[in-house]
């Protein structure tokens, strides 16, 4: 199913009910309930709100009967918030203000912004309409408490079902929060969490693992399939694979430039880095950032270098070996003017090498920007159970 970028996804609906009991002495007690009756997917999270109407903490809702974590301030109110109609939640980064979606407003671990990488408690990522919902919720509760008569029981309902069914743009109250579909949906290769982000590359919002290397592995496997089926020639595979590697490696470098404090001159050196020239980028990354892209690959170094030079020839010289190619590539079998006959074997081997290089980049990068262990441990446990079941 194709979906439209930035289309709106409605709220899942449901009703929040406040029951306020005021005894004969004027002593007040209230209960908050949530019910959901539609067939739409829904998940529910709890946020602590300050009596003044702003979010101030996440509620860790364990199993039935488990006590919640204490609120950060006395008199905080527990706000129940339901997902969008796909069971997901929209978020807005408090730092870069960009939007994304994930499966939860998590309470046991912080959220990481897919774009700028900032990592803080998830209630800091509430969108403006979600914040309006929280203040509407607190106001409704306060109004009901204010009007309670001694000896009475009163119910006040915030009905998101009625709103979800009837709303047009003009009559929409600002607390009816929806979410906005982004451009790339992916499941994290490290923790398996769902993400929906703008653009293509980003961090997993749950664990902070960057998706770029995994996207390359997937793209190169597709290229490999097209080589096997005869749809792509080996030289086209060389061109496309190197270009895929180039944009992935560039993406990691851009993050390093943005997130690692460094002098302007070093930033400029890295910005000007070309991933076509193996000797240059290998040396620069090793010197600047202690990243060794060809770690453990000394046996394939000459091969990778030759293939990068061939890519240049396929791209710019019609596949005919130039003087420059003969000098730089270390390829002793060809003379200037020869047509390079690329083999499928070389193309396969290049894909393996590029994947290995990007995996090295990926793990060195994540060593600098450590992922959130909680989500990855849960996923590793899950994978272990699956393996045991299938064994
Ligand atoms: Zn951000
Ligand atoms: Zn993840």
For residue range 250-278, list pLDDT tens digits in order.
999 999 999 999 999 999 999 888 777 88
What was the pLDDT predicted at 169? 61
**Ligand lying nearest the CA atom of residue 371:** 2
Residues 144 and 223 in one domain: no
Same domain, 125 and 248: no
Per-residue pLDDT tens listing for the chain (391 residues) = 577 877 888 888 888 898 988 888 888 888 888 888 878 888 899 999 999 999 999 999 877 778 889 999 888 999 999 998 899 999 999 999 999 999 999 999 999 999 999 999 999 999 998 999 999 889 988 888 888 888 888 888 888 887 766 656 666 777 778 888 889 999 999 999 999 999 999 999 999 999 999 999 999 999 999 999 999 999 999 999 999 999 999 999 999 999 999 999 999 999 888 777 888 888 889 988 889 899 999 899 999 999 999 999 999 999 999 999 999 999 999 999 999 999 999 999 999 999 999 999 999 999 999 999 999 999 999 999 999 998 8
Question: Does one domain contain both 268 and 171?
Answer: no
- Distance from C-alpha of 96 to C-alpha of 37, rounded to nearest angstrom: 36
**CA gyration radius, the chain:** 28
Calculate how far, in angstroms, residue 203's C-alpha sits from the geometric centre of ligand 1. 10
Distance CA 66, CA 221 (A): 46
In a domain, 87, yes or no: yes
Let me know whether 238 and 141 are in one domain. no
CA of 289 to the centre of ligand 2 (A): 24
Does residue 78 lie within any of the structural domains?
yes
The rounded distance, in Å, linking the Cα atoms of 186 and 198 is 11
| Gap from CA of 116 to ligand 1 centroid (Å) | 4
Of 43, 35, 32, 33, the closest CA to residue 14 belongs to: 35
The answer to the question of residue 102 being in a domain is: yes
Q: Which residues surround ligand 1, an ion (CB under 5 A)?
A: 93, 95-96, 113, 115-116
Closest-lying ligand to the alpha carbon of 380? 2
Domain boundary among 183, 201, 226: 183
Q: Is residue 123 part of a domain?
A: yes
Q: What is the pLDDT of residue 29?
A: 86
172 & 29 share domain: yes
- Per-residue pLDDT tens digits for 130-183: 999 999 889 988 888 888 888 888 888 888 887 766 656 666 777 778 888 889
Q: Which ligand is nearest to the CA of 205?
A: 2
Which burial class, exposed, middle or buried, applies to 107 when counting CB atoms under 10 A from its CB (0-12, 13-18, 19+)? buried
**Ligand closest to CA 119:** 1
The ligand placed nearest to the CA atom of residue 376 is 2
End-to-end CA gap in the chain: 34
Instruction: Return the pLDDT at 64.
Output: 75
Give the pLDDT of residue 272. Answer: 86
92 alpha carbon to ligand 1 midpoint, in Å? Answer: 8
In total, how many domains does the chain have? 2
Pair 168, 39 in one domain: yes
Query: 143 and 229: one domain?
Result: no
CA-CA distance, 49 to 3, in Å (whole number)?
35
Ligand 1 center from residue 219 Cα (angstroms): 26
Whether residues 133 and 261 fall in one domain = no
103 and 168 in a common domain: yes
Q: How do 111-112 and 119-120 pair as beta strands?
A: antiparallel
Q: Is residue 163 part of a domain?
A: yes
Same domain? 221 vs 313: yes
Distance CA 90, CA 127 (A): 7
Predicted local confidence at residue 222, as pLDDT: 98
Nearest ligand to the C-alpha atom of residue 204: 2
- The verdict on residue 250 lying in a domain is yes
Of 317, 266, 272, 319, the closest CA to residue 289 belongs to 266
Let me know if residue 390 belongs to a domain.
Answer: no
Question: How much distance in Å is there from the Cα of 99 to the middle of ligand 1?
Answer: 8
Q: Are residues 255 and 337 in the same domain?
A: yes
Q: What pLDDT is attached to residue 194? A: 96
Joined together, the tokens standing for residue 111 give 């959220």
Could you tell me which residues come within 8 angstroms of residue 308 by beta carbon, excluding any fewer than 6 positions away? 242, 276, 277, 278
Residue 2 in domain? no
Q: Which domain holds residue 40?
A: 8-61+70-183
Strand locations in the chain (E): 8-9, 15-22, 28-35, 44-49, 55-58, 77-82, 89-92, 99-102, 111-112, 119-120, 152-159, 179-180, 184-187, 194-197
For residues 111 and 124, give the distance between their C-alpha atoms in angstroms, rounded to a whole number.
9
Q: Say if residue 171 is in the same domain as residue 222.
A: no
Other CB atoms closer than 10 Å to residue 170's CB: what's the count?
Answer: 5
């Amino acid at each position: 199913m194709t979906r439209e970028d930035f289309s709106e996804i409605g709220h899942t609906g449901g009703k929040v009910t406040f029951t306020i009991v005021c005894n004969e002495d004027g002593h007040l007690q209230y209960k908050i309930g949530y019910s959901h009756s539609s067939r739409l997917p829904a998940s529910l999270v709890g946020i602590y709100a300050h009596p003044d109407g702003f979010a101030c903490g996440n509620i860790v809702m364990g199993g039935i009967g488990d006590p919640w974590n204490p609120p950060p301030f006395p008199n905080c109110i527990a706000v129940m918030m339901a997902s969008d109609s796909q069971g997901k939640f929209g978020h807005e980064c408090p730092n870069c203000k960009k939007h994304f979606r994930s499966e939860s407003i998590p309470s046991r671990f912080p959220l990481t912004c897919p774009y700028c990488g900032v990592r803080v408690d998830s209630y800091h990522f509430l969108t403006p309409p979600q914040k309006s919902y929280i203040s509407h919720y607190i106001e409704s509760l306060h109004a009901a408490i204010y009007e309670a008569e001694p000896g009475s029981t009163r119910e006040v309902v915030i009905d998101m079902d009625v709103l979800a069914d009837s709303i047009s743009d003009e009559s929409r109250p600002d607390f009816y929060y929806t979410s906005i579909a982004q451009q790339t949906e992916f499941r994290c290769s490290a923790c398996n969490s769902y993400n929906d982000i703008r653009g293509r590359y980003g961090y997993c919002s749950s664990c902070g693992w960057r998706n770029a290397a995994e996207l390359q592995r997937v793209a190169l496997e597709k290229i490999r399939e097209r080589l096997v089926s005869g749809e792509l020639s080996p030289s086209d595979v060389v061109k496309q694979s190197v270009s895929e590697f180039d944009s992935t490696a560039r993406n990691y470098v851009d993050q390093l430039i943005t997130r690692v404090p460094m002098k302007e001159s070093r930033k400029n050196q890295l910005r000007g880095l070309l991933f076509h020239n193996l000797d240059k980028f290998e040396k620069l990354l090793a010197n600047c950032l202690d990243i060794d892209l060809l770690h453990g690959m000394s046996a394939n170094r000459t091969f990778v270098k030759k293939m990068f030079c061939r890519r240049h020839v396929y791209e710019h010289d019609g596949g005919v070996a130039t003087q420059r190619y003969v000098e730089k590539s270390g390829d002793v079998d060809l003379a200037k003017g020869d047509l390079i006959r690329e083999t499928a074997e070389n193309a396969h081997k290049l894909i393996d090498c590029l994947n290995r290089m990007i995996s090295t980049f990926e793990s060195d990068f994540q060593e600098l920007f450590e992922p959130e262990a909680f989500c990855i441990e849960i996923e590793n446990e899950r994978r272990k159970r699956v393996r045991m079941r299938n064994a």
